[in-house]
Amino acid sequence: MFARASANAYAQVGVQTGAMSASPHKLIAMLYDGARAAIARAKFHLEGGNVIERGNAISKAIDIIDNGLRAVLDHEVGGEISANLESLYEYMVRRLMLANLRSDAALLAEVDTLLESLASAWAQIDDTAADRQPALQDN
């Protein structure tokens, strides 16, 4: 038990340190990763029949989506894209709540797939920005 608590504390320090030094773009990527990790834990606990831990993991994923990803949307700058993302995040939260209610691994997988697609697109945006950065500095 002590080893697990120590490992969790170490991991938490690593996440906090990474978040403090991350760019805003990297922070969003970390939120996607965190939500997907919480869903993976929920799937694990669902398969193991651990209802409380499953619920905690799903709650964590919902919190990341709602209070992390959705909260940082800028509707003034983002326009239609921001509105579409907000609708998608709301849909994901509803599906996660239903997954918890029904003990449904397929719903967890659905949300994970959506998050994976968004994370992949977000990573491509970062790669594109990184490719353009040297060209902008040369001018």
Q: pLDDT tens digit string along 10-32? A: 445 444 545 555 677 899 999 99
pTM: 0.78
Q: Is position 6 within any domain?
A: no
Task: Tell me if residue 49 falls in helix, strand or coil.
Answer: coil
Q: Is position 29 within any domain?
A: yes
**pLDDT (tens digit per residue) in 40-68:** 999 999 999 999 999 999 999 999 999 99
The total of structural domains in the chain comes to 1
Q: Is position 13 within any domain?
A: no
Q: Is position 93 within any domain?
A: yes
Average pLDDT estimate for 102-127: 93
Pick from 8-22, 45-59, 78-92, 97-111: least confident: 8-22
Taking the C-alpha atoms of 10, 15, 19 and 24 in order, what is their torsion angle to the nearest 10 degrees?
A: 170
pLDDT higher than 60, residue 92: yes
CATH of the domain at 83: 1.20.120.340
Q: Is position 82 within any domain?
A: yes
Q: What angle do CA 83, 111, 125 make, to 5 degrees?
A: 55
Q: Is position 15 within any domain?
A: no
Q: Is position 10 within any domain?
A: no
pLDDT higher than 80, residue 130: no
Helix (H) or strand (E) holding 119: helix 105-138
Domain of residue 111: give its range: 23-123
φ and ψ of 138, to 5 deg: -70, -25
pLDDT of residue 23: 79
Tokens representing 108? Answer: 């967890």
Q: Is position 2 within any domain?
A: no
pLDDT of residue 132: 58
